[in-house]
Structure 1
């Protein structure tokens, strides 16, 4: 069993698996095109904001598409800062060739840093009509709490020398807006450019809506993966603390409220 597990994790097996999945998704596309007269020329992209249901969504997208992974290297894979820096530079210098992407493929990644934000990775994506950008967001404070406990559980270096309240109030301010590439001057235009924006609070409903828009089979048993156990919930925090957080992350709240408004208008 150990030998079998080692072989399955090996590079040759993973490459073969990747090729098989690519051909399966291609065949699925050809079948839809033939039977449903579907001529999809779309370029699909998923802006995976950390701790916004992306791991669960990836499992569903994997049933519908061939996934092109575009995640930056992180400190757990490269604990040596110099090696991490080299890997990060190589990642930044190698942008996805998204314009040549097939309609049965989808590129997925984290884009929360200026040097590899969504506009750096996919130049001019908003001006290209057949690009369909997808993302999910959540309540900003719930996101920050989940992000903290996830980092603690994984042992990420970004939490060294900080506690929950310090992290919430003074680190990664307006994380969601940075992940989306939004400013106070453009956030409505940017959000309006997205093909689909779901929310964690309405995750199953969002998945149903997305499957209808993509003309894909609704998944049975929607997964809820990578959930983070939290010692403190939003309701446990003092009112003045919550208000301080909202004031410091005002743009994230403008974005979240606008997305909720857009979703309510559709329903």
Structure 2
């Protein structure tokens, strides 16, 4: 079974789109499999309806469809490619509250496209606070993208707020010239205003942090681990 250079889990709103451009410049677009079909955040997606069956099917596929690929990058659960050899398994994370706000603003801007949870958010015209209470958003890291995952299994974890410096470190680790392009701006015009208003409302911000407590603990542990590794 051929070894991939990199398996990259693109966590939504964590600099993954900009990072793809860095990967494309280094490896060439034709050598990157962009895997965005699983809809991890959709309650109706196979990985959520039947986790064990979905994972068994992933294991059975093995390296099918990966001929000529050097990198896999996309929105998928890390265990999807657990049986495949790879030099590096990497991801980027972001402060859970900031990530939540960015995701909320992005979904409010985007039309529905067959994603059950996104459609519900639009149909119900949910506020940010109601959005944060949804189980799939409340435990976005711990219950969805990294459900049953130990980050010790990753070779590199970067962070959105220092993505440029972290990509430079990853470039040295990977042995390829990775350089992050200009940041990918949130398309919602009111995004910056939403962030500024929330930061001024300390009580509301505290309530959001209480809701996202599990993910915040996960994030802080990952950050501390990465800082120790970089020291």
TM-score (norm 2): 0.73
**How much does 1:247 deviate?**
2.3
In structure 2, do the counterparts of structure 1 residues 243 and 68 end up closer, same or farther at CA, with 3 Å as the change threshold? same
Deviation at 1:69, TM superposition (A): 1.6
Alpha-carbon shift at residue 178 of structure 1 (Å) = 3.3
Structure 2 CA distance for aligned equivalents of residues 164 and 228 of structure 1: 17
Q: 1:203 offset after TM fit, Å?
A: 1.0
| Structure 2 runs not aligned, ≥5 long | 113-118
Report the Cα offset of residue 228 of structure 1.
4.2
1:216 partnered with 2:176: yes
CA distance in 1, matches of 2:6, 2:17: 17
1:58 and 1:153 mapped to 2: Cα distance?
22
| Contact kept? 2:94, 2:161, Cα under 8 Å | yes
**Larger-gyration structure (1/2):** 1
- Of 157-166 and 59-68, deviating more is 157-166
Distance 1:200 1:210 in 2: 13
Indicate the residue corresponding to 2:186 in structure 1: 227
Alignment correspondent of 2:225: 262
In 2, Cα distance between equivalents of 1:104 and 1:209: 23
Residues 117-156 of structure 1: matches in 2 within 5 Å?
A: 117-119=77-79, 121-124=80-83, 130-156=86-112
Following superposition, the deviation at residue 131 of structure 1 comes to 5.0
d(CA) in 1 for partners of 2:196, 2:9:
25
Q: Secondary structure at 2:205's aligned position in 1? A: helix
SS of the residue 2:37 aligns to: coil
User: Corresponding residue for 1:247?
Assistant: 210
Give CA-to-partner distance per residue, 1:148-174, whole Å, 9 cap, x none. Answer: 000111123242211222112335211
Aligned to 1:110: 75
Corresponding residue to 1:164 among 128, 132, 136? 128
- Within 5 A, what are the aligned runs for 1:185-196? 190-196=150-156
Equivalent-residue separation in structure 1 for 2:45 and 2:132 (angstroms): 26
Aligned CA distance change for structure 1 residues 98 and 255 (closer, same or farther; 3 Å):
farther
Indicate the RMSD between aligned Cα atoms, in angstroms: 3.2
Structure 1 residues 85 and 135, CA gap change in structure 2 (3 angstroms):
closer
The alignment partner of 1:233 has SS state of helix
Is the 8 Å Cα contact of residues 21 and 181 (structure 2) preserved in structure 1? no
Range that drifts further, 237-246 or 54-63: 237-246
CA gap 1:195/1:207 in 2 versus in 1, 3 angstroms:
same
Aligned residues: 201
Q: Provide the C-alpha distance between the structure 2 equivalents of 1:250 and 1:137, rounded to a whole number of angstroms.
A: 15
Higher relative contact order (CA 8 A, sep 6+): 2
Q: Report if the CA contact (8 A) 2:14-2:94 is conserved.
A: yes
In structure 2, the CA distance between the partners of 1:240 and 1:169, relative to structure 1 (3 Å rule), is: farther
Of 222-231 and 132-141, more deviation after overlay is shown by 222-231
TM-score, normalised with respect to structure 1? 0.64
Counterpart for residue 72 of structure 1: 37
Whole-angstrom CA distance in 2 between matches of 1:203 and 1:85: 30
